[in-house]
Amino acid sequence: MPEQRRWYAGMASTEDWWAVWIGLFFVLPGILAAATGVDLTGWIVKFSKWVDITEPIRASHKELLGPGASLVLSYVIFTLATCTGAKFMQWDVKKYFIAWTIIFWLTVVFYIVGQNAYIAATSLEREKYGIDWSLSLGGAYYIIALFAGLFLGNLTPKAFRTFLKEAAKPEWFIKVAIVCLGTKLGLKAIEATGFAMHLLFAGCCATIAAYLLFWPLAYTVCRKIFKLTKEWSACLASAISICGVSASIATGGAIRARPIVPIMISSLVVVFAVSELIILPGLLTKYWSNEPIVAGASLGLTVKTDGADAAAGAILDELIRAKAAGQGIHWDEGWILASAIMTKIWIDMFIGIWAFVLAVVWVWYIDRRPGETVPKSEIWFRFPKFVLGYFIAWFLVMGLGLADILSFESLEFGIKPIEGSLRKFFFMLTFTSIGIVTDFRELAKEGLGRLAAAYGTILVFIIIPIGLFLAWLFHHGMMPPTAP
């Protein structure tokens, strides 16, 4: 019999709600900054590509304060925010603070390493950085954080790695990042005009069709061919169909999966996304350069992390435009990348909707014992609350912009550091933490090989072919504007 709970139960004591509060704690000053012109968010530290070690760090608004001050202030404010949450959630705040401090500064190091121009610069950027070669791995900082975290979580002394887990909270960090992601969607919706609006709309249509087909097919393959349980199948199907790590964690919450399930799947998502980043742009350039927007949109449907999708889109943009330039066609820069991002944005939107659907199905049909009645309120308790923060942030920014209450430029001034610098840093914290809490001994017991085989099979035989078809169906014939 479900226990009696008030609708607001957990608002001050659960990780889910504290992701909403911390997310909005950063979003609201962004909106206030947009309304007043007072720079309340420009202090947030931003990491950029570098060849000179003095270059990678700066404030989001570099005229506001210097790199060192920005980094220290970011540490202080992020620490205050998360320690407040830890206190309310009745964690051991002293242990959390020390472990958080170690994780924060290690993540800063991983981020800086991953932004090195020899690793991250694209071929067109090499001249800007004065280098002859680069790996063009724009999203590599995530995988560096993941692997470094795996090292910390598996190969350091047991007492140390156990201590780090006090503050290694991947689900919490990514939920904060997802609330901030809402502001990015709001800005994109305001910005989209003309061809961009067509791209956004076509991307939305492709995405609706895609995720309704991806999820059931992926789920069926997991259950019928790889014989995975419902818990693993639902989280894996959401991760590979919708938006990777975020969807896996949202689904895990909706179906009450054990924490290890979305964590393990998140590791797979990152590894496969980087593999796609390396392979797909070259293949698409070779075989589909006559449909550049289709090629870009297909990345948005098939690459399951924002970073890898944007990096793959940037590489594809360069490769296809360079090939077209050789044939005398000069497309404007950025539109192929935009098609990748605008499709991915819509996929991100479905986290909340699908989490709701799964919560309903699991509460009423799968977890219910014969004869047991389950109140409708249980759906509310299972619904991932951070998704509310994400929708609030999205509609607030979009509403203020579309109603002409605030101009796009002022919103961008206040919100850009939140949706860019802060969101990416919390993603970095997420990947470091995923590595730390991922215990290979546990993974071996759970059978990582079969999960990886399931993920790879579904990606190659379902997600990529259907993604390519849908991208073509909804974008064929669209061409980027030519360069002025």
When the beta carbons of 264 and 314 are compared against another protein, the nearer one is 264
- CA proximity to 57, closest of 49, 46, 66, 65: 46
Taking residues 361 to 390 in sequence order and writing x for each that binds another protein by CB under 8 A, - otherwise, the string is x---xx------------------------
Residue of 84, 220, 275, 377 interacting with another protein (CB under 8 A)? 220
What is the nearest approach in angstroms of another protein to the Cβ of residue 224?
7
Residue of 259, 282, 375, 465 interacting with another protein (CB under 8 A)? 259
When the beta carbons of 108 and 363 are compared against another protein, the nearer one is 363
CA distances from 122 to 127, 129, 301, 308, 417 (A): 10, 10, 22, 13, 23
Binding of another protein by 271 (CB under 8 A): no
What is the nearest approach in angstroms of another protein to the Cβ of residue 420?
29
- Stretch of 2-10, 157-165, 170-178, 196-204 contacting another protein, by CB under 8 A: 196-204
| Distance from chain centroid for Cα 316 | 20
Residue of 227, 460, 465, 482 interacting with another protein (CB under 8 A)? 227
Binding of another protein by 453 (CB under 8 A): no
- CA proximity to 173, closest of 425, 460, 436: 425
Q: Are 122 and 116 in contact (CB under 8 A)?
A: no
Residue of 32, 212, 325, 460 interacting with another protein (CB under 8 A)? 212
Please give the structure tokens belonging to residue 258.
């054990």
Q: Which residues contact 9 (CB under 8 A, 6 or more apart)?
A: 381
In residues, how long is the chain? Answer: 484
- CA proximity to 305, closest of 140, 76, 80: 140
What is the nearest approach in angstroms of another protein to the Cβ of residue 101?
26
Would you say the C-alpha torsion 34, 37, 40, 45 has a positive or negative sign?
A: positive
- Stretch of 25-33, 46-54, 272-280, 472-480 contacting another protein, by CB under 8 A: 472-480
Looking at residue 424, its amino acid is K
Binding of another protein by 229 (CB under 8 A): yes
Residue of 25, 75, 97, 201 interacting with another protein (CB under 8 A)? 201
Q: Which residues pair with 45 in a beta bridge?
A: 59
Binding of another protein by 232 (CB under 8 A): yes
When the beta carbons of 109 and 473 are compared against another protein, the nearer one is 473
Task: Give the integer Cα–Cα distance in Å for 406 and 408.
Answer: 7
Q: Rounded to 5 degrees, what are φ and ψ at 47?
A: -110, 130
Burial class (CB in 10 A: 0-12, 13-18, 19+), 460: exposed
- Stretch of 37-45, 184-192, 253-261, 426-434 contacting another protein, by CB under 8 A: 253-261
Q: Are 390 and 250 in contact (CB under 8 A)?
A: no
What is the nearest approach in angstroms of another protein to the Cβ of residue 212?
3
What is the nearest approach in angstroms of another protein to the Cβ of residue 445?
5
What is the nearest approach in angstroms of another protein to the Cβ of residue 450?
7
Binding of another protein by 9 (CB under 8 A): no
Task: Give the integer Cα–Cα distance in Å for 245 and 239.
Answer: 6
- Stretch of 43-51, 140-148, 272-280, 360-368 contacting another protein, by CB under 8 A: 360-368
Residue of 83, 102, 113, 213 interacting with another protein (CB under 8 A)? 213
Residue of 9, 11, 98, 205 interacting with another protein (CB under 8 A)? 205
By rule CB under 8 A, what count of residues binds another protein? 46
Binding of another protein by 141 (CB under 8 A): no
Binding of another protein by 198 (CB under 8 A): yes
H helices present in 11-88, as ranges = 15-36, 67-88
Binding of another protein by 473 (CB under 8 A): yes
Looking at residue 182, its amino acid is G
Binding of another protein by 62 (CB under 8 A): no
Task: Give the integer Cα–Cα distance in Å for 231 and 254.
Answer: 11
When the beta carbons of 133 and 365 are compared against another protein, the nearer one is 365
Binding of another protein by 219 (CB under 8 A): yes
H helices present in 137-259, as ranges = 140-155, 158-164, 170-191, 195-220, 230-241, 245-254
Burial class (CB in 10 A: 0-12, 13-18, 19+), 126: middle
Residues that bind another protein (CB under 8 A): 198, 201-202, 205, 208-213, 215-217, 219-220, 223-224, 226-233, 256-260, 361, 365-366, 442, 445-447, 450-451, 470, 473-478
